[in-house]
Amino acid sequence: MDNLSDNLIAGPMHAAIKSASWIRQMFEEGNRLREEVGAENVFDFSLGNPSAPPPKEFQDALIHAAKESTPQDHRYMTNIGRLDTRQFMAESLQDVHGPGLNADHVIMTCGAAGGLNVFLKSVLNPEDEVMLLKPYFPEYLFYVGNHGGKTVFVDTDEDFQPDLEAIKASLNEKSRVLILNTPNNPSGVVYSKTVVDQIGSIIEDHAEKIGRPVYLVMDEPYRRIRYCDEQHPSVLQSCRFGIVISSFSKELGLAGERIGFLVYSPQLESPETLVSAMSVATRTLGFVNAPAFMQRVLLECATACVDLSQYKLHRDMLYQALTEFGYKMPRPDGAFFLFPKAPGGDDLAFLDVLRKFHVLCVPGRGFGTPGHIRISYAVPTETVERAIPLFKKAIDAQRNS
Ligand SMILES: Cc1ncc(COP(=O)(O)O)c(C=O)c1O
């Protein structure tokens, strides 16, 4: 058989493998380096895996739920999730999203990723456009592609804040979804309530103009991973087509458990078909329902959060040291990333310089913004301490080259 290896998979998957290959390359490069110089001498800031352990409330809830578990807790259930968990989520989210929320507005999902796929499957017609602000979380490209949508990239300002004029200019008859993400991966910046309110009005006006809903999605798995007093914006209040998608991957450190949720705005009129579509999509995408045991566990720990002190310490140490050395970036007030400009302007070239000092980061081009590097500080404190002088050596080496 000719080209067996090529023909084992579908054509579009070749492109998917290729576009995901820089992540693999980094991973392989990291392994190679670890073998060469020893794991303790490699400073890997490339991973987005939360390092803060789940809080004690989670351990207690886990043990309690395991002891109390009944056969019913492990069976198939309504596709959108347990009623008591959805009720609990609605109540616990009222401090951010207002008193109008109830269980009907909440759908439990397999992480934020599952929520995004269920939602996009439910609302996208072929060629419908999904707008992403640059820099964006790269997996969005796959999720939009999974459901036949087309991605449209929208510039942000130099501090990676939304540019309202650029958003307006990106809208047309095919616009269907705008995805926002705050606190942001990869930039770490947070959006204000004022700017999200303004975007909400732009989206509502445009929906009116084209005569069909345009959704404003806030992907917020880092909502409580923040280090500033700025109130988290409620997209559900800013826009009647507002959708929150979130998870416990970062806030409870449960990325591997695949538990998350979606909430639609109580202002949305006639939501029944959207809910039915999301229920069917949860089933037909093969999720069937969000993990049953985790839904049960959340009843006792959903409002807890990982200890943020280590993330904040790393943010402070790195932001202060790197800006002193001459790296340029907006202050990251949330998530666990810094996204400085690559000294010299070329992200790949600067990653090579960093690699010489055994420091690994991710190129900004993977997030739609070449010329930057992403530094994930979800790492041990010792890694941060030992790497800081190496970031200095790298910028000096680049200057002297
Ligand atoms: C911005 C953003 N959205 C969504 C996700 C997916 O998270 P989850 O583990 O909840 O599916 C991630 C994970 O890193 C993320 O950074």
DSSP 183-196: S-TTT-----HHHH
Number of Cβ within a 10 Å radius of residue 126: 8
Q: Say if CB 129 and CB 150 are below 8 A apart.
A: yes
CA of 263 to the centre of ligand 1 (A): 16
CA of 191 to the centre of ligand 1 (A): 17
Q: What is the pLDDT of residue 21?
A: 67
Q: What is the pLDDT of residue 283?
A: 98
Q: What's the whole-number mean pLDDT along residues 394-400? A: 96
Q: What is the pLDDT of residue 1?
A: 72
Residue 245, strand partner residues: 219, 262
Residues of the chain with CATH 3.90.1150.10: 4-54+307-399
What's the 3-state SS for 118-166?
HHHHHHCCCCCEEEEECCCCCHHHHHHHHCCCEEEEECECCCCCECHHH
Write the CB contacts of 16 (distance below 8 Å, at least 6 apart in sequence). Answer: 142, 145
Q: Say if CB 259 and CB 293 are below 8 A apart.
A: no
Fold of 4-54+307-399: Aspartate Aminotransferase, domain 1 (3.90.1150)
Name the residue with higher pLDDT: 13 or 220.
220
Q: What's the whole-number mean pLDDT along residues 382-401? A: 97
Ligand 1 atom closest to residue 48's alpha carbon, by position in its atom list:
14
Q: What is the pLDDT of residue 345?
A: 97
Is residue 39 predicted with pLDDT exceeding 80? yes
Q: Say if CB 347 and CB 363 are below 8 A apart.
A: yes
Read off the tokens for 12.
Answer: 């579009």
CA of 219 to the centre of ligand 1 (A): 8
Give pLDDT tens digits for 237-248: 999 999 999 999
Please give the Cα distance from 250 to 306 (Å, whole number).
8
Q: What's the whole-number mean pLDDT along residues 47-66? A: 94
Q: What is the pLDDT of residue 311?
A: 96
Q: What's the whole-number mean pLDDT along residues 30-35? A: 90
CA of 306 to the centre of ligand 1 (A): 16
Is residue 16 predicted with pLDDT exceeding 90? no
Angle at 368 between CA 366 and CA 370, to 5 degrees: 75
pLDDT level of residue 159 (50, 70, 90 thresholds): very high
Give pLDDT tens digits for 174-207: 999 999 999 999 999 999 999 999 999 999 999 9
Q: Is 112 in the pocket of ligand 1 (CB under 6 A)?
A: yes
Per the prediction, the chain carries an average pLDDT of 95
DSSP 221-237: TTTT-B-SSPPPP-HHH
Q: Is 376 in the pocket of ligand 1 (CB under 6 A)?
A: no
**Percent of the chain's residues with pLDDT above 70:** 99
Ligand 1 atom closest to residue 110's alpha carbon, by position in its atom list:
11
Give pLDDT tens digits for 169-182: 999 999 999 999 99
Angle at 143 between CA 337 and CA 341, to 5 degrees: 30
> 119, 249, 252, 374: which to mutate for ligand 1, most atoms within 8 A of CB?
249
The model's pTM is 0.96
Q: Is 249 in the pocket of ligand 1 (CB under 6 A)?
A: yes
Give pLDDT tens digits for 91-127: 999 999 999 999 999 999 999 999 999 999 999 999 9
Ligand 1 atom closest to residue 116's alpha carbon, by position in its atom list:
4
Q: What is the pLDDT of residue 30?
A: 85
Fold of 56-298: Aspartate Aminotransferase; domain 2 (3.40.640)
Q: What is the pLDDT of residue 28?
A: 82
Q: Say if CB 223 and CB 92 are below 8 A apart.
A: no
Residues of the chain with CATH 3.40.640.10: 56-298
Q: What's the whole-number mean pLDDT along residues 367-395? A: 97
Q: What's the whole-number mean pLDDT along residues 271-281? A: 98
Q: What's the whole-number mean pLDDT along residues 46-63? A: 93
Q: What is the pLDDT of residue 25?
A: 77
Q: Is 185 in the pocket of ligand 1 (CB under 6 A)?
A: yes
> 107, 180, 185, 367: which to mutate for ligand 1, most atoms within 8 A of CB?
185
Q: Is 111 in the pocket of ligand 1 (CB under 6 A)?
A: yes
- Crossing angle between the packed helical segments 111-123 and 272-284, to the nearest 10 degrees: 120
